[in-house]
Amino acid sequence: MAASGGSARVASTTPVTGTAGRLRVSEIFHSIQGEADAIGWRTVFVRLTGCPLRCVWCDTEYAFHGGDWRAIDDILAEVALHGARHVCVTGGEPLAQKRCLILLQKLCDAGYDVSLETSGALDVGVVDPRVRKVMDLKAPGSGESARNLWSNLDHLLAHDQIKIVIASRADYEWACARLVEHALAERCMVLFSPVHGAVQPRELAEWILADKLPVRFQLQLHKLLWNDAAGH
Ligand code: SF4
């Protein structure tokens, strides 16, 4: 699939020195990646605190507040302890803390395969291009559809992914319309994921098959394995 173009505004060679500040962190944990292109890989998750959105079906509300201030170099040291190639920076909305960009850059510099889970409401054009962005488009059932920053689509690269979480048939039809309107599948991989308890996974799978959509169906592997227990 072709990238849609657009250039990141943080060059990968931008020097970052010292501890370069701190970030508020909800948790750092080692688990199996449950979503998107890196599904199944042993991964270290860095969950940053805070999110300006309030999606109806959010499953990480505990990350809205609290957390601990951690020096970026401390975070890197803890990540290294787990000996994993993959690191996922998530939230909350990680980009709500501007120094997240420094963390992402340093993780890439250290040689990790880095992904970023982001709501799609904040500018992703500033993210290091080596990072694989997994960017949500919020369907109406989230209650946050008005927050979609559509200009973000022009900052997606071929290795990025667009994720649409679907809570109803109406959400599905909204997603199908956006797929056509913005030629989403020509930009990068598009993931459709059912909201647990709202849409039967098989139902969504059958809609995708019936409509022959160029999207990838996904279930959250970590929910199947650990049923959302903390630390996974
Ligand atoms: S953007 Fe993510 S963390 Fe924020 S409310 Fe929505 S689902 Fe929760």
Is ligand 1 within 6 A of the CB of residue 58? yes
Is ligand 1 within 6 A of the CB of residue 91? yes
Distance of CA 54 from the midpoint of ligand 1 (Å)? 6
- For residue 225, name the pLDDT band (cuts at 50, 70, 90): confident
Q: What percent of the chain has pLDDT over 70?
A: 89
Distance of CA 60 from the midpoint of ligand 1 (Å)? 7
Both tokens assigned to 224: 């199947």
Q: What percent of the chain has pLDDT over 90?
A: 84
> CA-CA distance, 19 to 127, in Å (whole number)?
19
What digits encode the pLDDT tens for the residues 181-223? 999 999 999 999 999 889 999 999 999 999 999 999 999 888 8
**Nearest Cα to Cα of residue 76 among 131, 34, 114:** 114
Q: Which of 45, 55, 166, 196 to mutate to test the pocket of ligand 1 (most atoms within 8 A of CB)?
A: 55
Give the range among 7-21, 35-49, 149-163 with minimum mean pLDDT: 7-21
Length of the chain: 232
The CATH class of 7-226 is alpha beta
Which residue has the least CA distance to atom 6 on ligand 1? 55
Which residue has the least CA distance to atom 1 on ligand 1? 119
Which residue has the least CA distance to atom 7 on ligand 1? 58
Residue 232, pLDDT score:
66
Domain boundaries, the chain: 7-226
Which residue has the least CA distance to atom 5 on ligand 1? 54
Distance of CA 5 from the midpoint of ligand 1 (Å)? 27
Residue 4, pLDDT score:
32
Instruction: Kindly tell me if the per-residue pLDDT of 160 is higher than 90.
Output: yes
> CA-CA distance, 10 to 230, in Å (whole number)?
33
Residue 14, pLDDT score:
41
Is ligand 1 within 6 A of the CB of residue 135? no
Residue 20, pLDDT score:
53
Q: What is the DSSP letter of 207?
A: H
- For residue 226, name the pLDDT band (cuts at 50, 70, 90): confident
> CA-CA distance, 217 to 137, in Å (whole number)?
15
Instruction: Kindly tell me if the per-residue pLDDT of 19 is higher than 70.
Output: no
Residue 51, pLDDT score:
98
Residue 189, pLDDT score:
98
What digits encode the pLDDT tens for the residues 38-92? 999 999 999 999 999 999 999 999 999 999 999 999 999 999 999 999 999 999 9
Average pLDDT over residues 178-182: 98
Closest atom of ligand 1 to 91 CA is 3
Residue 139, pLDDT score:
98
